Structure 1
Amino acid sequence: MMASTPEESKDALLPDFPSGPLHVYRARASFNWKELALFLEDEDILRLKKTIFSALENDPLFTHPRGCDLSMEQYRELTFRRCKRIFEYDFSLPGDLLQNPLKALVLVNCLGMYDWSLAIKVMLHAYIFVSAIYNSGLERHFKYIPKVFSMEVFGCLALTELSHGSNIKAIRTTAHYDPATEEFILHSPDFEAAKFWVGNMGKTATHAVVFAQLYTPGGQCHGLFPFVVQIRDPKTLLPMPGVMVGDMGRKIGQNGLDNGFAMFHKVRIPRQNLLNRTGDVTPEGTYVTHFKDDRQRSAASLGILSTGRACIMSISVTNLKLAVCIALRFSATRRQFGPTDGEEIPVLEYQLQQWRLLPYLAAAYALDHFSKSLFLDLIQLLQGLLGDDLSTRQVDLGREIHALVSAGKPLASWTAQRGIQECREACGGHGYLAMSRLGDLRNDNDPNCTYEGDNNVLLQQTSNYLLGLLERGGPGGTRFESPLKSMNFLEAYPAILHQRFEVASLQDCLDSAVPLAAYEWLVCYLLRESHQKLNQERKSGSGDFVARSRSQAYCCRPLALAFLELTVLRRFHEYTRQPSVPTPLQAPLRRLCALYGLWSLSQHTGLLYQGGYCSGERAGKLVESAVLELCAQLKDDAVALVDVIAPPDFILDSPIGRADGELYRNLWAAILQGSGALERASWWPEFTRKPNVGSVRSQL
């Protein structure tokens, strides 16, 4: 048998799309979409995605329940059964997920493209729960890991409480050590200390990694630590003695996922159930740790939060990808109006539609690259923690990643939130149909703005980090270098503040170096303003807490967002200009980068003028013209760019976004397949019953 050529293997991995109305735009594309797909991701990852998608499409258990609304109980049962099935496929082997966390993220995103309730359930059980044990525990705890993948136990992570979410230092669940029995006594002092919003805990979790304040004999508290706690009997799913566990009920979205609560009444667990990588308690009750600084110990023990936030970034970007795939395919086939009465053109040809949607396509590409690269940085950090690396670089790397994920999650989830809504509106009334899937995407994305830290609160972590660098830096101070080089530009902080917008022509403005330079100035300006505002508040007599609180709205919050936008842009700018980018791909990728940078920058126009970086009307108009010009240049590539990131039709599950572009045929077929579409209303006798006029009024 003859070996297949590279071209043949590429076609097998990335088959051609069906012919149809979208072929017109595909023929106009300036590049080969398969070449871009293979450049952006390794063949192994593309093959894994194909394997996952094919498994779901060919398994009857994953058939979309067309035309029927499942009750919450039915949805949760179906989600759990699907979760079990996922672990029967070889793409979820524990070795792969532990040794290559990027594969775990790919699995979660592929499942999320199908259904986020399923994806989050799998992620919390097989990745977050397992990662907490693997990264925070020692070998004695690894006995749980194979049981996770055989589903002998089902896991969750219990951190937040009813009265405390973002303020994790105020968590009130306690774990007092009893040397007489060598046990910890886990206790919830009152209902406000109930573990709350815990995914998988509502109905299915048998075990939880529970964060509690660790107390040793004598009453000394050593801070927050994770413990492995059995909360249900795996044979009966009934609560363990002393554990009250329940479900929180219906949510705005993700109702296949059972979020729950738990209270502990003097529940005894073995001493060995403390996840003790960062600190331990001897059998006699002595607390020991190899960390000299308790803040370092606390940051290391809570490193799992950075993992969760990095995952949420990727999840948000995936939601944005799905929305722009649906909206742009719709826009390329939806014809309305035209230059003459007898002619209708695709709505994608309208500048306004391009301006509404193409920047979000650019954002999807830029944020996708950033979230993947940051996830790899996080893996590097976690490997250092596992190796007990206490070097200065490791500490600095942890702080830098914490600052990046603390602003990255807000930026990604908010961009997805706005983008999905814009896509919904850009699809008109058809986008409002539930079957378009845009409403479900909007609802399922919404919690990304809140869980694993409220977005506005998280941004304060990033601004505090930047302000701390400024206070330690400057002439005669420490340098602004950081392990990932995201802070290095601050070396030129004073000089950057003197720079101004100096772009000679529209053509010059189409380069992503223009918004990159503007963003460096903007971050330096906001850093100076935030620092001055903070000092002003302190001089007026405010304590540090109040001073920081009063510096958020117009200083620290935009500082954190602008810094993250700069970092996303810089990484994408460098990526699109590396020598390995094939020549045919350079133009579309660089246009996406420039569009993302200029579009994001345009949202800060007021600050650019307020701080003096821009003056006169020419600068603002030049940026606006550049955004529109880039949209026009990318318009003919839009469908091909969508083809690169779109999942198969079965996974996308939107009749208005199918790959063949047969918009009206697909929509009409989906409507007719709806349950009861052509049936008489079951309550039709009520229609024939005439109202008894005046009968209600007489009862008032």
Structure 2
Amino acid sequence: MAPTPGGGNDGLWSDPPRGPLDAYRARASFSPRELQLFWEGEDTLRFKKAVFSALEKDPLFAGSRGADLSLEKYRELSFLRCKRVFEYGFFSLDNLDQSLLRLPALTYCLGMYDWSVGTKFALHLMVFGSALYSLGSERHLKYVEKVLNMEIFGCFALTELSHGSNTQAIRTTAHYDPTTEEFIIHSPDFEAAKFWVGNMGKTATHGVVFAQLYTPDGRCHGLHSFVVQIRDPKTLLPMPGVMVGDMGRKLGQNGLDSGFAMFHKVRIPRQDLLNRAGDVTPQGTYTATFKDARQRTRVSLGSLSSGRIFITGVCVVNLQQAVCIAIRFSATRRQFGPAGEEEIPVLEYQMQQWRLLPYLAAAYVLDHFSKSLLLDLARLYGGLLRGDQAAPQAELSREIHALAAAAKPLVSWTAQQGIQECREACGGHGYLAVNRLGDLRNDNDPNCTYEGDNSILLKEASKYLLNFLEPEEQDGVRFQSPLQTVSFLEAYPVVLGQRFQGTSVADWLDPTAPLAAYTWLVCYLLQSSHQKVSQERRSGRSDFEVKNSSQVYHLRTLALAFMERTVVQRFHTHVRSPSVPPSLRAVLGRLSTLYALWSLSQHTALLYRGGYLAGEQAGQALEAAILDLCAQLKDDAVALVDVIAPPDFVLNSPIGRADGELSKNLWGAVLQESGVLERASWWQEFSVHRPVVGSLKSKL
């Protein structure tokens, strides 16, 4: 084991148990304890340790996580576990500021244990609760307090049976009646039923419901959000006029009750309009906080950006757990080796390194990015709560919207592909449900869809980038970049003239090389996308047809490359900041460069097609550099996963346990399965009513 700076034990780092993984841990080039302290921070580490300790000691969390439970029982257990988390006081009104800072960490801890619990908690507190806080005003604080005390249980009802991504076509209505000072919430038909609403199936008592707001003069003022009571908190029976139900079993997260609802002329008080974007007077006059209707819509749907940013963190957590399992497995699973010698761990094989270590790098790089994007969102919300309507605040909102729209696809797809690669890298053992990679894969899968289908979301990011070359859509004013994510485009014409001059592995291992390549790539894709759009417009097509014909190979690729560049840039800057301890710079630098080169290598054809690369040597050197970095990181891999791995109780994977006793742990887990040694209950079917096929001997 690498030496621990300062010595001693502050209670934050627990040395892993001795076992087969010791050999790799002893070869680590850095102190895992030092990296963990730097990566998480002391306060977060102490908090996460307290959460994990509480869960492990609580009998309510000791049982099944859903595999062998009925749907009803699993959902009951998920609710009880969610309720117990509130009882622990991890989130407190008495210390609200600190609780808000800890909220993402708490949710991710619960998700590591079981995303049915983590998502249920997040939907109630982080989605429903934050929507009340950010979209409402002082008059809605009464609901926020009830959320925190679990007097009510919430959901976020935007999508409908017939509309999801196209939020502007949502058909639920809210007509204002000035005679009673009430809104009438109504679903015109079953296609307008709220659908795919987490927590709504069995447990939600209230929802933030999105509907088209109509004033008495017949004018529609667009999509707005309302607090609507769905069930009686004392009986959980539906309120009058509400038809609410459960959608049934899903591919994963079955402890979460996803549901639907229809509203038949349900009346709610005027004050239950969440009024940050606009309000209605008692007489029925609409008053807009923002004159621009598009800005009002962005404010109303701003909670979707926070949801997308939260999902990026969810996906990182899933990828981290899968990588932990696969790398610990690979460091202890021995297969083949030189003739006449002992079998070697499969982690020693270049193929296994190439399959897994880029995803280990991604687990670190994307973790940093998701946390930094969360800080950007906090900056935006701070301005909104201060009532800041200045131009820079609007530009910040647009930039974060674009980043969130591109980040969720990149990170959720990376996690999806990474978990599958980890599953396959663990061979047949990875397919065994008890080792949890299947659950991780299934629970992560919806992240590619909810809060916006990934491919649809990339249109939002590409539209933002395309505006750089189309200032007419910005009233002739080029937009600003408060977060500096598109500032490099100011040098757009100069960048397009640049070329990669290197030919060796060392040229690619220069950390600035992949960043320079990405800068050129985004500029090239922006130019080609703009040319494609302009060509389609000149052909006389409508704006819809133009955008529809320009997505594949152009705008979609542009948005992903832009997001990858942003991620690479932020981590490149981070690992070179003065805050990084000198003893950690080398390993973090290798992770940074590996992720950058590995991601960039997926665009090699474009780099050659556009002329940035020339000759065989440049591409061959890029591939060789990736393999070189994998080899450099191989001996650090186990220590790196020790830093980000949750306790064994939470990881819940026999082949991924920290002691590395792979065969022993897996054998014990299999023998503990219910009925594993029992005769089949249908054994009699084996010996009776056998089909008569005659004698084989008589036919020969």
TM over 0.5: yes
Q: What is the Cα deviation at residue 149 of structure 1?
A: 2.4
Unmatched tracts of structure 1, length 5 or more: 695-700
Q: Relative to structure 1, is the Cα distance of residues 102 and 502 closer, same or farther in structure 2, using a 3 angstrom cutoff?
A: farther
Give the match's secondary structure for 1:140: helix
Stretches of 4+ aligned residues off by more than 6 angstroms: none
Query: Matched residues in 2 for 1:10 and 1:274: separation?
Result: 53
Aligned to 1:487: 486
Deviation at 1:506, TM superposition (A): 1.5
Partner of 2:229: 230
Deviation at 1:289, TM superposition (A): 1.6
Distance 1:9 1:83 in 2: 36
- CA 1:573–1:354 in 2, change beyond 3 Å: closer, same or farther? same
- 1:660-684 per-residue CA deviation (whole Å, 9 max, x = no partner) reads 1000010011011110111111111
CA distance in 2, matches of 1:341, 1:140: 78
The answer to whether the 8 A contact 2:326-2:425 is kept is yes
- SS of 2:367's partner is helix
Instruction: Give the match for residue 58 of structure 2.
Output: 59
1:429-448 pair list within 5 angstroms = 429-448=428-447
Residue 161 of structure 1 corresponds to 160
1:554 partnered with 2:553: yes
- Whether the aligned pair in 2 keeps the contact of 1:202 and 1:261 (CA below 8 Å) is yes
In the alignment, what sits opposite 1:698? none
Q: Partners of 1:607 and 1:504 in 2: how far apart? A: 18
CA distance in 1 between counterparts of 2:284 and 2:480 reads 42
Cα distance in structure 1, aligned partners of 2:559 and 2:113: 33
Quote the Cα distance in structure 1 between the aligned partners of 2:249 and 2:357: 35
Q: Does the 8 Å contact 2:519/2:565 carry over to 1?
A: yes
Q: Which amino acid aligns with 2:578?
A: P
Cα distance in 2, alignment partners of residues 259 and 551 from structure 1: 35
Q: Distance in 1 between matches of 2:186 and 2:144?
A: 26
Give the conservation status (yes or no) of the 8 Å contact 1:101–1:379. no
Contact 1:213 1:221 in 2 (8 A): yes
Q: Output one character per residue of 1:72-105: Cα deviation in whole Å (capped at 9) or x when no partner.
A: 1111111111111111012122465666544111
1:532 aligns with 2:531: yes
Equivalents in 2 of 1:473, 1:419: separation in Å?
41
1:299 paired residue number: 298
Distance in 2 separating the partners of 1:50 and 1:408: 29
Q: Which residue of 1 aligns with 2:213?
A: 214
CA contact (8 A) 2:201 2:260 kept: yes
Matched position secondary structure for 1:172: coil
Q: 1:347 to 1:693 in 2, by over 3 A?
A: same
Q: Do 1:336 and 1:347's aligned partners in 2 also have CA atoms closer than 8 Å? A: yes
Residue 143 of structure 1: SS of its match in structure 2? helix
Q: Matched residues in 2 for 1:64 and 1:508: separation?
A: 53
Q: State the TM-score, normalizing by the size of structure 1.
A: 0.96
Percent identity between the aligned chains?
69
- C-alpha RMSD of matched pairs (Å): 1.8
Could you tell me which residue of structure 1 aligns to residue 32 of structure 2?
33
Check whether the contact 1:327–1:423 (CA below 8 A) recurs between aligned residues: yes
Counterpart of 2:501? 502
Distance apart, 1:434 and its partner CA:
0.1
Name the CA shift for 1:10/1:461 in 2 (closer, same or farther; >3 Å).
farther
Corresponding letter in the other structure for 1:177: Y
Task: Provide the aligned length of Structure 1 versus Structure 2.
Answer: 690
> Does structure 2 conserve the Cα–Cα contact (< 8 Å) formed by 1:66 and 1:675?
no
Question: C-alpha separation between the residues in 2 aligned to 1:125 and 1:92?
Answer: 13
- The aligned runs of 1:501-650 (5 Å cut-off) are 501-650=500-649
> Match for residue 314 of structure 2?
315
283-292 or 415-424: which moved more?
283-292
Could you list the runs of 5+ residues in structure 2 that have no partner in the other structure? 694-700
SS at match of 1:366: helix
For 1:697, the equivalent position in structure 2 comes to none
**For 1:153, what is the secondary structure of its paired residue?**
coil
Report the TM-score, using the length of structure 2 for normalisation. 0.96
The 8 Å contact of residues 124 and 156 in structure 1, kept in 2 or not, is answered as yes
1:358 deviation in Å?
Answer: 0.2
The separation in 2 between residues aligned to 1:42 and 1:398, in whole angstroms, is 28
Structure 1 residue 638 displacement after superposition? 0.4
* Partner-residue secondary structure (3-state), 2:674: coil
Q: Which runs of structure 2 are paired with 1:245-394 in the superposition (5 Å)?
A: 245-394=244-393
Name the amino acid aligned to 2:358.
P
Q: Offset at 1:357?
A: 0.2
Return closer, same or farther for 1:453/1:269 CA change in 2, 3 Å cut-off. same
Provide the C-alpha distance between the structure 2 equivalents of 1:94 and 1:521, rounded to a whole number of angstroms: 49
3-state SS of 1:678 partner: coil
Of 264-273 and 508-517, more deviation after overlay is shown by: 508-517
In 2: Cα distance, 1:171 partner to 1:480 partner = 30
Partner of 1:657: 656
User: Which deviations, in whole Å up to 9, do the C-alpha atoms of 1:359-381 show, x marking residues without a partner?
Assistant: 00001111000000000100110
Cα shift readout 1:221-249 (whole Å, capped 9, x = no counterpart): 11111100000011111100000000000
Partner Cα separation in structure 2 for residue 472 and residue 219 of structure 1:
35
Return the letter of the residue paired with 1:484.
Answer: L
**2-structure distance, mates of 1:97, 1:641:** 33
The answer to whether the 8 A contact 1:409-1:455 is kept is: yes
* Alignment-derived partner of residue 202 in structure 2: 203
Query: Is the contact between residue 10 and residue 34 of structure 1 (CA under 8 Å) also seen in structure 2?
Result: no
Secondary structure at 1:70's aligned position in 2? coil
